[in-house]
Chain A
Amino acid sequence: MNGFEFDWIAIAPFLILSVLGFAVVVLGISFPKMYRGTLGTIVLVGFAVAFLASLQSWDDARLAFGGMITADKFSSAFSCIFILGATLTIGLSINQVEEKYLLYSDYFALVVFATAGMTLMASGTNLLTLFLGLETLSIALYVLAGFRRSNEFALEASFKYFLLGAFASGFLLYGIALIYGITGSTDLTKISAYVSSEGILGSKMFFAGFLLLLVGFGFKISVFPFHLWAPDVYQGAPTPISAFMATGSKAAGFAALMRFMIAMQSTTQSGWQDIIWVIAAATMILGNVIALRQSNVKRMLAYSSIAHAGYILIGVLAGNTIGSSGIIFYLLTYTFMNIGAFGVISYLSTAEHEFITLSDFRGLASSRPFAAIAMAAFMFSLAGIPPLAGFMAKFYLFSAGVKAGYVWLVIIAVVTSMISLYYYLGLVVQMFMRDKEADVAATAPLQPAVMIAISIAMLAILILGIFPSRWVSLFQDLARSLM
């Protein structure tokens, strides 16, 4: 299997998405008057094909390109999550794009390219492949973040994201170079073999490389202290793109981090646990505490997404079967609830008025009951209250931590979850228990595509919350195949 044969199936999702991306660009240029919905439908069909293609490698793990690419349960599951996220993002965007942006084909194409990058990150088992995927994803996102060209926040978002992202990429490359220098390879299997014999602290240079890589990944998953970009970027980016970044891009970062960490885990005495422990604790505390003070819902969700990255790190740290399957279950759930929450904002916003401050949400329950109930469900789920999926995900992830013996970290997670209740409930209070001040925002037109996307997300968090059995078993199979 280790030859350099060209394996179509292993990279099928990536290929399909790339072709789809170019097709969208070409279609956009050739038929500038093409109806936006039609183009969106084409993208969605393409996603469906890519989704099926990613499922192919679930039962049939294969190495391709001399071990650069591994198509297995892991890449399959992650690719599916990315494509689901991207699908919902397109759903949220269809009307948005129509109203606000002219360059809709570019917008769609960039989302598709970003998704292609993500699938590469999930299937890369070579540091270079991971890097390639990361860059494909990032460059698409830099542009998307600044898509509202006339908005000053958007410019700031794009510029900040680009600048910091470029630095992070630099760190990542530098780290890869150092690791290559010591191990003579960028292949994760070989690096893992090195770690098994020498340990992670075997050479200072290797450890430096390891830390630099952590910085690079830490930026992508926005954990403390590499989280600073997130609130500004989420605020400035078009809302569907914020959702996309908070879910898909973060999930991709975790996919790459997990691949990397599994390679680092080969020995019992790895020495990186303490670092992750501190990062996880700091991220949970900081994200949740700062979120308390936000009156802009998009920023609040940004900080909440930072906090959630902290929870997920518990799974990385635990490094056991439950941890790995827990992360995937969490990311799947998180994709639905976060896209749902951003989706509600998007649903209510109009071209003139973005529906983002807490006071916008006042009395929403009486003026827009569907939006209010959906938002409340997403908030309760994010807060981790049963029977919604957010609870199941948290419970499962925390159980991994307890099993691995990180009881104190789990207690920190639990305490910060309590803190998070306050701001999640705060939004519910605004919607259900306060009366409307003035009838400003109730004028957003009905957007069927967005409504469908929100409904799907709502249904998903209910089903994943009440009947998680099947998914948990699937992901456990996956995790066992990784170990």
Chain B
Amino acid sequence: MTDLPLLSITIFLPAIGALLLLFLKDSMEQLQKMLALIVSALTFIVSLPLYFSFNSNTAAFQFEENYTWISAIGANYHVGIDGISLLMIMLTTFLGPLVVLSAWNAVHKSLKGFLISLLVLETGMLGVFASLDIFLFYIFWEAMLIPMYFVIGIWGGQRRVYAAVKFFIYTMVGSLLMMVAILFAYFYVGEQTGTYSFDYIHLRDFLMPVEIQKWLFLAFGLSFAIKVPMFPFHTWLPDAHVEAPTAGSVILAGVLLKMGTYGFLRFCLPMFPNATFIFAPLISILAVIGILYGAWVAMVQKDVKKLVAYSSVSHLGFVMLGIFSFTHQGMQGGLIQMVNHGLSTGALFLIVGMIYERRHTRMIEDFGGLARQIPIFTTFFMIVTLSSIGLPGLNGFVGEFLVLLGTFQTNVTLAVLATSGVIFAAVYMLWMFKRVMFGPITREENKRLTDLSKREVAVLVPIVVFIVWIGVYAQPFLGKMEKSVDSLLAQLKAKQTALVQPGNEIIGGGE
């Protein structure tokens, strides 16, 4: 591997860009946009070697960097990636420039602040996915809230303040309890091993008693479940999504929500394996409820953006179900579904944003018959819609299929229920699509719609390429995560037996 600290460069490049933006005058809007675009594109380019020289034959962390940070408490700047975080990092850097491009003409006040927020946000998200020190992870996890709060609160829609505050407080509630749990784990493991450290691997490799695991799992889990969001902690999501500007929604759906599922994979499962098995039935049930509930509520939405928001609840349910099936296919499916959802839902929000910029409405009833007016738009919308409902040949299918395959091996009932969720998804998406795109044109304004500009096409094409690519040939992506998923499952199984053997009876049932 190279000597350059590639991972750190990737993480902090956007932040440096944000710093540079600070020095530009408010009036130089064009220059600000160019700078933000170049920085985020550069971040993507810098991150490419991470993907291409990633060694798929090992589950070990790669591109590791480990420096002492706060020696007095044993917190290090420790970053590194494995097959699980690699795709998340790539997804984040990939969406970065697209998001900037999508906001080209959409922001009408303090553009500089907006771009700075976006770039800082990107650094925060990348940091979350790369951190191998729990303290560092927590810093990134929390720090990211501030820019998102501003993005929703300043540049959002009508009820933006309400949505921003709700988003902030919901997320903080979870993370503050997680902070107590982190501290507890830190001291507990420190006392037992004599080494006080926030290092992820140090904490992960120590097996805690089941009783403690349960509490810590709940505290970490709550924080992640709110972020995912899992039913019944999802109520912040529709508000945040609907009120956020397009760029904010794309980041929210594309990357932010994945931080929750990623948190489960990275922390909850390996650190609290026994508690994971205890709570797995509960979480699987909540996941299925989320799938169905999200789909049903999406069906009756009048606002396209809200519909997409609720579809997120449903899609993320699949991810959770896959992860908690503890099968190879299920987990791989969950992971690839995380990427898929980032692409498809991200694209859907972009598309909704594009039509909103033209018509300043998102109500389904205000549209109809758009297909004849704006054919390019229609094509993209069609592909993305089909990807979202999991049509074979497009990416959504791969993820959902693997998840269902994995779930069938462990729990047939849940799998059957979840499958019906796929059908509902087809119903609400296609029905919405029909009402918006087909039929007679009922509004005069819709006759004067202009088709997508070159910039907008440039935003959508890369996403569609990956939608098709993953759908047709997902093996390269699955291959990258293969070993990490195997190793995670092996760890889970090993730790479970390790604790059961000395006569430590595991008492089932949640609290």
Point out residues on A near B: beta carbons under 8 Å: 365-366, 380, 385-387, 391, 395-396, 398-399, 402-403, 407, 410-411, 414-415, 417-418, 421-422, 425, 429, 432-434, 468-469, 472-473, 476
Contact = CB atoms under 8 A, between A and B. Distances in A.
A366 B112 CA distance: 13
Contacts of B169: 418, 421-422, 425
A476 B74 CA distance: 13
A398 B168 contact: no
A422 B164 CA distance: 11
Given A433-B164, A469-B69, A469-B71, A402 B180 contact: yes
Contact of A411 (B142, B143, B153, B180): B180
5 contacts: A387-B139, A395-B179, A396-B73, A398-B180, A421-B168
A414 B177 contact: yes
Contacts of B142: 385-386, 391
B187 interface: yes
A342 to B, nearest CB: 22
A366 B150 CA distance: 14
A395 B70 CA distance: 13
Interface residues of B, number: 33
B184 A402 contact: yes
Contacts of B187: 399, 402-403
Contacts of B38: none
B489 interface: no
Given A385-B145, A417-B176, A476-B72, 19 more contacts: A366-B110, A386-B142, A386-B143, A387-B139, A395-B179, A402-B180, A402-B183, A402-B187, A410-B183, A414-B180, A421-B168, A422-B165, A425-B165, A429-B165, A432-B153, A433-B161, A433-B164, A472-B73, A473-B72
B172 interface: yes
Interface in B64-112: 68-73, 110
B318 interface: no
Contacts of A417: 176
Nearest to B144: A386
Nearest to A469: B70
Contacts of B139: 386-387, 391
B70 A472 contact: yes
A476 B70 CA distance: 12
A283 B69 CA distance: 33
B183 A398 contact: yes
A399 B186 contact: yes
B342 to A, nearest CB: 25
B472 interface: no
Chain A interface secondary structure, helix, strand, loop or mixed?
helix
Nearest to B156: A433
A410 B172 CA distance: 15
Interface of B: 68-73, 110, 138-139, 142-143, 145-146, 149-150, 153-154, 160-161, 164-165, 168-169, 172-173, 176-177, 179-180, 183-184, 186-187
A321 to B, nearest CB: 10
A82 to B, nearest CB: 24
B72 A418 contact: no
B154 A418 contact: no
B179 A398 contact: yes
A374 B177 CA distance: 28
Contacts of A365: 110
Contacts of A410: 180, 183
A407 B184 contact: yes
Sorted nearest first, the 4 A-B pairs with minimum C-beta distance are A472-B72, A386-B139, A402-B183, A469-B70
A366 B153 CA distance: 15
Contacts of A418: 169, 172-173, 176
Contacts of B164: 429, 433
Contacts of A402: 180, 183-184, 187
B349 to A, nearest CB: 22
Contact of B180 (A391, A396, A407): A407
A307 to B, nearest CB: 15
A403 B110 CA distance: 45
B184 to A, nearest CB: 6
A421 B145 CA distance: 12
A451 to B, nearest CB: 17
Contacts of A434: 161
Contacts of B72: 469, 472-473, 476
B154 to A, nearest CB: 6
Nearest to B170: A418
A433 B180 CA distance: 32
Nearest to A477: B72
Given A421-B169, A422-B165, A432 B150 contact: yes
Contacts of B69: 469
A220 B180 CA distance: 30
Nearest to A468: B70
A366 B169 CA distance: 25
Contacts of B168: 421, 425
A403 B180 CA distance: 11
Most buried by A among B72, B110, B161: B72
A387 B153 CA distance: 20
A365 to B, nearest CB: 8
A395 B143 CA distance: 14
A221 B165 CA distance: 31
B71 A473 contact: yes
A380 B72 CA distance: 25
Contacts of B177: 411, 414
A411 B160 CA distance: 30
A104 to B, nearest CB: 37
Contacts of A366: 110
A402 B149 CA distance: 30
A152 B229 CA distance: 52
Contacts of B183: 395, 398-399, 402-403, 410
A391 B141 CA distance: 13
B143 A387 contact: yes
B392 to A, nearest CB: 44
Contacts of A468: 70
Contacts of B172: 418, 421
A418 to B, nearest CB: 5
A425 B164 CA distance: 10
Contacts of A469: 68-72
A429 B154 CA distance: 9
A429 B153 contact: yes
A422 B169 CA distance: 8
Contacts of B71: 469, 473
A481 to B, nearest CB: 15
A473 B110 CA distance: 41
Nearest to B145: A385
B226 to A, nearest CB: 12
B141 to A, nearest CB: 8
A414 B173 CA distance: 9
B453 to A, nearest CB: 30
A474 B212 CA distance: 33
B44 to A, nearest CB: 24
A158 B160 CA distance: 43
A475 B186 CA distance: 20
